[in-house]
Structure 1
Amino acid sequence: MDASPDLPRQSRVPVFNLPGVVSASIGLLLAIHAVREFLLPDLWDIRLTLDLALVPARWTVWLDPSRAEDLIRAAGAAGDADLTMAREAFARYIVADPSAAPWTFATYALLHGSWPHVIFNSVWLAAFGSPVARRCGAWRYGLIGLAGTVAGGALHVAIDPLSAAPLVGASAGVSALMAAAARFVFQPPVSGYGTQPWQIPPRRPAETIPELMRNRTAVTFLAIWLATNLLFGVITLPLGSESAAVAWDAHLGGFVVGFFLFPFLDGRRAR
C-alpha cells in the first residue's frame, strides 16, 4: 500500500510567461513583417513603406519649401553613382509631394528592415516591456511606448532634417520601456520579505534620480546602454537589405522620454 500523501497536482509552468499586452505587441510586429516578407508584392511593400515610415526630409520640405535645393544637393553627395541617382530621384519625389504625414511619427515603429531587426526588438521588448506592463497595466505600458516612439522620431527629424532615408523600427518605443523599467527593476529587495511564498513585498515608488545614482547596478546599466547606443550610431548593422546606421538619436529620444515620464504614469505608487 502506498502511504505517500495525496498532494495536489502541480500546474505546468509556461515557457513564455509574458503579459498579454506584450505578447500582443510582439505578435503584431512579427505578423506585419511576415505579411510584408511573404505576401505583399514589392510594389505594395514600397508603397506601404512610403506611407508609414518616417522620412525626415519630407517634414523639412513641408515646413520650409526653401530647403528643397538643400535636400537635392545632400542626396547627390553619395559616392556611388547608382546610389546617387536613386537618392536624387527620391529627393525629387519628396520635393514634388512634400506631405506632412503626421501619423508616421507613430507608424514607423510597426515596420522593420529585416527579420534580425524585428526579432532583436522583440527580445528587448519582452525583457523590459514585461515588468513595465505588470507594474503599470496595459494602457500605461502602451502610452510610454507610444510617447517614446513619437519623441524618438521627433529628435531624429531635428538632428538629421535632410535625411531621405525612411526611419523604421520599434527601437525608440522599446528604449522608452527600457528607461521606464530602469526606474524600479534594479531596486534591492526589501529585507524580511520573500522567505515565505505568502509574503508579498510592500509597494515601492520608482527610484528618484539621486537614488538611481547611488544604485550601482542601475548606473552600470545606464552607462552600458548609453555607450552601446553611441557606438551603434557610428557603425553599420545589417538590419535591412543593405547595411544601415542605427538611428541612435531616435533611441536616445525614446529613452529620455520614458525615463522622465514613468514616475507620472507609475501604477504602483507607494502609499
Structure 2
Amino acid sequence: MERDQLATPAETDAESDTARGREPAFNLPAGLTGILLFLIAVHALRTYLLSAAADQELILNFAFLPVRYTLPLSEQGLVWLWTPVTYSFLHGSWEHLIFNIFWMVAFGAPVVRRIGMVRLAVFWCLSAAAAVALHTVFHWGEIIVVVGASGVVSGFMGAAARFVFSPSGRISRQFAHLNRRLSLTETLANRSVLVFTGIWFLTNFLVGLGVFSVGGAGSVAWEAHIGGFLFGFLLFGFFDPRD
C-alpha cells in the first residue's frame, strides 16, 4: 500500500495540537465506539432477553468449537465457515466483556485511527481467525467453546507495538497513530517494544499454566491470544496505509 504524500487536515490539526500540548480528554473513534456498543448489545440480549435454550442455540451456531473441523461438513452446514469470526462478538460474562473493552479502548483506538474502518473490518476478521487457528492446533478435535474478542484485542496489541513506541518524538496517546511504523528489525531492537511484548507473553504463559486468570470468563484460551498477537505484530504492514 502506498502512503499519500499530502497530510490531511485532520493530521495537520492533530500535529498542531500535539505541538501545543493540547489533548482531548476523550476522543474514541466513532467506528470503535460503534463496535463496543454492538458487543455490549449482544451480551445484554443474551443475558436479559434470550431464554437459556435460545442462548445455547446461539452459542452452538456462532461460537467457535475445534471439534467442528473433525466432522463431515454435511453434518453441520456452513456453521464452520463463519464461527472463526462470529465467536469474537460473544462473551462469557460481563467481566469478560469489560476486560476486553478496556484493552480495546487502549490499543484498538490508535489502530482504528491509523487504518480506518474498512481495513479494520478485514483486520478484525483475519485476526479473529488467526487466533482460533493457533488455538485449534493445540486443541484439535476437542469440544471446547471459544468466545470473546480477546484474540482480536491481542491483534490490536501486536499491531500497536509496531508504531506506538516509535522514536519519532510523538509520545501523546491521542496522536500515536501518526508515528512512523517501525520495520520488524527496528521493532525487535526497540527496548520499549521488547519490554512490552516480553511482559505480554509472560503474562499469557502464566495464564496458560493456571497461575492466575483474567477477565472473569473461566478458562482462558491463551493460545488464541498468542495467535492474534502474532498476526497483528507480523502482518500489520499489509493493513497500514502509512508506509
Task: Quickly name the TM-score band, shorter chain normalised.
Answer: 0.7 to 0.9
Aligned-pair identity in percent equals: 41
Structure 2 CA distance for partners of 1:214 and 1:22, relative to 1, 3 Å: same
Residue 153 of structure 2: aligned partner: 174
Residue 192 of structure 2: aligned partner: 217
Counterparts of 1:208 and 1:154 in 2: how far apart (Å)? 26
1:24 matches 2:3: no
The alignment's TM-score, normalised by the length of structure 1, stands at 0.73
Counterparts of 1:99 and 1:157 in 2: how far apart (Å)? 20
* Aligned mate of 2:100, from 121, 130, 152: 121
Higher relative contact order (CA 8 A, sep 6+): 2
* Aligned mate of 1:54, from 64, 70, 85: 64
- The answer to whether the Cα contact below 8 Å between 1:54 and 1:168 also exists between their aligned partners in 2 is yes
Residue 188 of structure 1: aligned partner: 167
* Cα deviation code 1:182-235 (max 9, x no counterpart): 1000112439x99xxxxx99x653111221122111110010111111111122
Counterparts of 1:264 and 1:97 in 2: how far apart (Å)? 36
* Aligned mate of 2:228, from 254, 264, 270: 254
> Aligned residues, how many?
216
Counterparts of 2:120 and 2:111 in 1: how far apart (Å)? 6
The structure number with the bigger radius of gyration is 1
The alignment's TM-score, normalised by the length of structure 2, stands at 0.81
Counterparts of 1:213 and 1:251 in 2: how far apart (Å)? 20
Root-mean-square deviation (Å): 2.6
Runs of 4+ displaced beyond 4 Å? 96-100
* Cα deviation code 1:54-107 (max 9, x no counterpart): 1111222337xxxxxxxxxxxxxxxxxxxxxxxxxxxxxxxx945562110100
- The answer to whether the Cα contact below 8 Å between 1:56 and 1:161 also exists between their aligned partners in 2 is yes
One-letter code aligned to 1:258: G
